[in-house]
Structure 1
Amino acid sequence: MRILHTSDWHLGRSFHREGMLGPQARFVDHLLEVVESERVDLVVVAGDVYDRALPPVDAVRLADETLVRLARSRATVVLSSGNHDSAQRLGFSARLIDAAGVHLRTDLAGVGTPVVVHDDAGPVAVHAIPYLDPHAVADPWGLDQRSHQAALTEAMHRIRTDLGARTGTRSVVLAHAFVAGAQPSDSERDISVGGVARVPTSVFDGIDYVALGHLHGAHVLDDHIRYSGSPLAYSFSEASHRKGSWLVDLAADATVHAEFVEAPVPRPLARLRGTLEELLADPAHAIHEDAWVEATLTDESRPLDAMDRLRRRFPHTLMLAFATSRAAVGAPGASLASGRTDRDIAREFLRELRGIEPDPAELAELYRAVDACCADPDADTLVGAASGEGGT
């Protein structure tokens, strides 16, 4: 059986305020092309179809179009909910949609009841585990502990009970969880409970193929336990990721062969670091001029109009950060101290922020602003050296 394993679409999500609905739609086109060109029998989507429980209308429209196209394809589809999804909303009309060959599994009551598909070698039981919030499942399932491991262990107990009643049946499990051995990125929502979110791979012992979702990087934890990762990058921490899906062949003897199918990249990511002049002048950075850029400037003094200047060379700069050896403003050892006048504090703040002393004209404007906000009749007078005149 040929399986296409994908997850974490996050329909409706943006990338640092850049709309991603267009790239997400192009990924759907790519997905359908792979289904047809690679003669895929089964598509499994391991959670986080949407980016939030109340997705925007355009994201719902894209999801609807995607499911309709998948229903018309050659493949059976099994899709589970993730921690970003609303299980109730995603699972609406699931029983009706089942008839179209698209199986939405979002309900706890369905854990342990598989979708059974067949190929020439016989049946394959596909068990989809929706995201299990330990607090939400502890009482209904009578768990002694409120943890991810306890919840998944109980889910797998139900699945093994079902598989134990079947003979000659291969097994596939979908799960949306943080499994030990994989590394997170900055774009996943924390699902830790009591500080413990990871579960061991041993939870899935005995399953022929485990299709994981939640982490946005592709990982191989074991030949038969894999994360597909998100099909698009959703943070600069994913700049080095390969994005795509796993194309998995599940043989008659339950052995697994998998290859990674890369997804289209809407725009490359670049993380640049150096002084502003270095970034603007270095010819080695020419390859990043069309990328989405995160720039970290190491100038001792913050350059004026840094973002505008960067965007003249890198028009798609989205993030700008500063990293210098100077102490942060207000940090221990900084020169802002009690007993200073309002003017002194404002002047020291500007000097600490920029790394240089304000010039006389800047001081004059700064002092006027400070005095305008001060109700104290004994406010400092303007320093003649700064303004050239007296006053309050």
Structure 2
Amino acid sequence: MRLLHTSDWHVGRTFHGADTVDALRSVLEELAAIVRRERIDVVLVAGDVYDSAMPAGRHVEALTRALQSIRDAGAQVVLSSGNHDSPARLGANAGFARAGGLHLSTTALDPDSWRIELDDEHGPVQVFAVPYLEPVVLRAALPESGIRTQADAMRWAMDAIRADLAARPARAVVLAHCFAAGVAADDDDAPREIRAGGLDVVPIATFDGVDYAALGHIHSRQALAEAVRYSGAPLHYSFRERSPERGGWLVELGADGLDGVSWISLPVPRPLTQVRGELDALLADPAHDGTEDHWVRAVLTDAAMPLDAMRRLQQRWPHCAQVEWAGAVGGADAAGVRERLQRRSDAEVVEGFLEHVRGEGPSDAERALVADGLARVAAAEAAR
């Protein structure tokens, strides 16, 4: 059996405010072409199918078309809900969809519903699509379980899966949406809502007992072990995402279990580029020729923050999406700012702000204007 591990489609998500639906449509159409070309039997989507619990109509339409294209290409689809999805909405009509080869798993409290029974020439393959497990919800519903953390929740789920496999031995694949130990996410667009009091991570050993664990939640591909991997998202959704490539893992199951895992790339409609330097120099620098159609993050090193920087940058890079000022003043150490502010008068605070944002203090005329404005405010407050 040949499975394609994907995750985190985030249909409806924007890139720094820019719409991505058309780009995602084109990438998912290529995914359907890969299904046909590579003779994929099953496409796995490990959570965060939508970006919102209440997706817009056009986003529902985009997902429907993508799933239909994959089915037309010959693969079944196994899809689990992530923390961004509404289980009730995503799982609507799941029983009816299963008859058409679309398997939706969204019920966290019912381990029996996670199991999708598939077959190939070697016999049964059990795919367990575990929805996102919210520890608070599980703890309330199962007070005797002792679930406190994401690791506890995933351990509870895997114990149920191993018990199922003990009763019905088969080759097995698990989908899970979680933050696993060993993942390198310092620079990735890793969701933060599962972190409380430090990293709430799921040990890799939790997934022992299955042939492959298809993980979602991290937006860049990572291999934590031969049989425990993240595929990442099909599009870039942030400049923080670690890997430039996009794609999925082709998982091959033989008669005795995992035969191999290989990477299959998806097209990147708009690459990510970071440029750094003074604004005027960047706008003229031939070293950046060819990046004009990229998503661009500009780090400006001008001594003073340039005026109208975004508009000027977009004259060269129409898709410049983020500007950061890292000049001498902007990069100064901010430690102790609150303490210093508490010792300053209102006028001194305003003067310090002007020095911070433009690298020089106010003129005499500006000082007079500030003093007059502060006096008016003080008079109005006294009259209340």
- Report the CA distance between 1:302 and its aligned residue: 1.6
Which position in structure 2 is the counterpart of 1:382? Answer: none
Q: 1:54-93 residue pairs with structure 2 within 5 A?
A: 54-93=54-93
Letter of the 1:302 partner, please give it: M
Secondary structure of 1:51's aligned partner: coil
- Report the CA distance between 1:181 and its aligned residue: 1.0
**Is it true that 1:154 corresponds to 2:135 in the alignment?**
no
Q: 1:81-160 residue pairs with structure 2 within 5 A?
A: 81-113=81-113, 114-141=115-142, 142-160=144-162
* Residue correspondences, number: 373
Q: Distance in 1 between matches of 2:320 and 2:254?
A: 47
Instruction: Please tell me whether the aligned partners of residues 40 and 75 of structure 1 are also in contact (alpha carbons under 8 angstroms).
Output: yes
Instruction: Please tell me whether the aligned partners of residues 109 and 138 of structure 2 are also in contact (alpha carbons under 8 angstroms).
Output: no
Q: Distance in 1 between matches of 2:378 and 2:176?
A: 67
- Report the CA distance between 1:376 and its aligned residue: 6.9
Q: Percent identity?
A: 43
Letter of the 2:176 partner, please give it: A
Instruction: Please tell me whether the aligned partners of residues 171 and 257 of structure 2 are also in contact (alpha carbons under 8 angstroms).
Output: yes
State the TM-score, normalized to the length of structure 1: 0.87
**Is it true that 1:349 corresponds to 2:350 in the alignment?**
no
- Cα 1:22–1:89, aligned 2, differ >3 Å: closer, same or farther? same
Secondary structure of 2:220's aligned partner: coil
Identify which range, 287-296 or 95-104, moves more after superposition: 287-296
Identify which range, 152-161 or 10-19, moves more after superposition: 152-161
- Report the CA distance between 1:345 and its aligned residue: 4.8
- Cα 1:351–1:93, aligned 2, differ >3 Å: closer, same or farther? same
Instruction: Please tell me whether the aligned partners of residues 336 and 349 of structure 1 are also in contact (alpha carbons under 8 angstroms).
Output: no
Q: Distance in 2 between matches of 1:62 and 1:27?
A: 12
Which position in structure 1 is the counterpart of 2:220? Answer: 217
- Cα 1:162–1:336, aligned 2, differ >3 Å: closer, same or farther? closer
- Cα 1:171–1:240, aligned 2, differ >3 Å: closer, same or farther? closer
Instruction: Please tell me whether the aligned partners of residues 80 and 175 of structure 2 are also in contact (alpha carbons under 8 angstroms).
Output: yes
Q: Distance in 2 between matches of 1:225 and 1:375?
A: 65
Which position in structure 2 is the counterpart of 1:22? Answer: 22
Instruction: Please tell me whether the aligned partners of residues 274 and 297 of structure 2 are also in contact (alpha carbons under 8 angstroms).
Output: yes
Q: Distance in 1 between matches of 2:339 and 2:281?
A: 28
Instruction: Please tell me whether the aligned partners of residues 36 and 74 of structure 1 are also in contact (alpha carbons under 8 angstroms).
Output: yes
Instruction: Please tell me whether the aligned partners of residues 336 and 348 of structure 1 are also in contact (alpha carbons under 8 angstroms).
Output: no
Q: 1:152-191 residue pairs with structure 2 within 5 A?
A: 152-167=154-169, 169-184=170-185, 185-186=188-189, 188-191=191-194
Q: Distance in 2 between matches of 1:109 and 1:310?
A: 50
Instruction: Please tell me whether the aligned partners of residues 276 and 303 of structure 1 are also in contact (alpha carbons under 8 angstroms).
Output: yes
Instruction: Please tell me whether the aligned partners of residues 138 and 147 of structure 2 are also in contact (alpha carbons under 8 angstroms).
Output: no
Larger radius of gyration: 1
- Cα 1:305–1:331, aligned 2, differ >3 Å: closer, same or farther? farther
Secondary structure of 2:310's aligned partner: helix
Segments of structure 1 that go 5 or more residues without pairing to the other structure are: 379-392
Q: 1:154-303 residue pairs with structure 2 within 5 A?
A: 154-167=156-169, 169-184=170-185, 185-186=188-189, 188-238=191-241, 240-303=243-306
- Report the CA distance between 1:67 and its aligned residue: 2.9
Q: CA RMSD in A?
A: 2.5
Q: Distance in 1 between matches of 2:198 and 2:344?
A: 43
Segments of structure 2 that go 5 or more residues without pairing to the other structure are: 380-384
Q: Distance in 1 between matches of 2:145 and 2:240?
A: 36
Identify which range, 228-237 or 182-191, moves more after superposition: 182-191
Letter of the 1:92 partner, please give it: A
Letter of the 1:124 partner, please give it: V
- Report the CA distance between 1:280 and its aligned residue: 2.4
State the TM-score, normalized to the length of structure 2: 0.89
